[in-house]
Chain A
Amino acid sequence: GQQLNQSPQSMFIQEGEDVSMNCTSSSIFNTWLWYKQDPGEGPVLLIALYKAGELTSNGRLTAQFGITRKDSFLNISASIPSDVGIYFCAGRGQGAQKLVFGQGTRLTINP
């Protein structure tokens, strides 16, 4: 099945640093989503994007729907210890009834 290419696969950063991750697809998506998974729990929706070029923030998180509709970016500013986890991008093509997920980016923060 189709899969998104998410990078990087893992990140090791210092507390206070900014974080960037991205997701690319070979096909056009109408919706991009970003989820976070804490250890031992299910993914939780962070940000949803519905329009090409859209830039949306949720606290220290900012995500963008790429203008080509084939990519999306997530930025986290001034990271804190509770940002640790796995971040997943997900997309939905036009008319599709399901989401396609990226492989995930595992974020580790050194205090």
Chain B
Amino acid sequence: EAQVTQNPRYLITVTGKKLTVTCSQNMNHEYMSWYRQDPGLGLRQIYYSMNVEVTDKGDVPEGYKVSRKEKRNFPLILESPSPNQTSLYFCASSPRVVETQYFGPGTRLTVL
């Protein structure tokens, strides 16, 4: 089944403790992206990647890192999480055409 998977789905952590949220897609898509969803703000892009080893900042990249060493994986790294990074995070992928994005199920992160 074609899908985007994220792990973990839920995470509660404390300020400053490094964490990684994994994202994997099995559709051989070139384009991958991370979003955060906050009430009243919709979806805001954090980082995106056009292809392996090519990443670029979205609208809210501060406090996040990403890497794209393989086509199928696009992990999101929070080196030193803070409470304002408490949010619902979505990974998405698409073929070359950015429009047809497939979203993962989401990761709800709480930073205490």
A interface residues (Cβ-Cβ under 8 A, vs B): 1-4, 6, 9, 31, 33, 40-45, 48, 88, 90, 92, 97-99, 101-104
Contacts and interface: CB of A to CB of B under 8 A. Distances in A.
Interface size class of B (residues with CB under 8 A): 20 to 34
Nearest to A89: B42
A45 B101 contact: yes
B43 interface: yes
A88 B43 contact: yes
A23 B33 CA distance: 23
A42 B100 CA distance: 14
Main SS class of interface, A: loop
Which 7 A-B pairs give the minimum distances between C-beta atoms?
A1-B59, A42-B103, A101-B43, A103-B42, A101-B42, A43-B103, A104-B42
B29 interface: no
Interface of B: 4, 31, 33, 35, 40-45, 48, 50, 56, 58-60, 90, 92, 98-101, 103-106
Contacts of A6: 42
A9 B42 CA distance: 10
Given A88-B42, A98-B48, A48 B100 contact: yes
Contacts of A99: 45, 98-99, 101
A94 B90 CA distance: 24
A1 B40 contact: no
B9 to A, nearest CB: 9
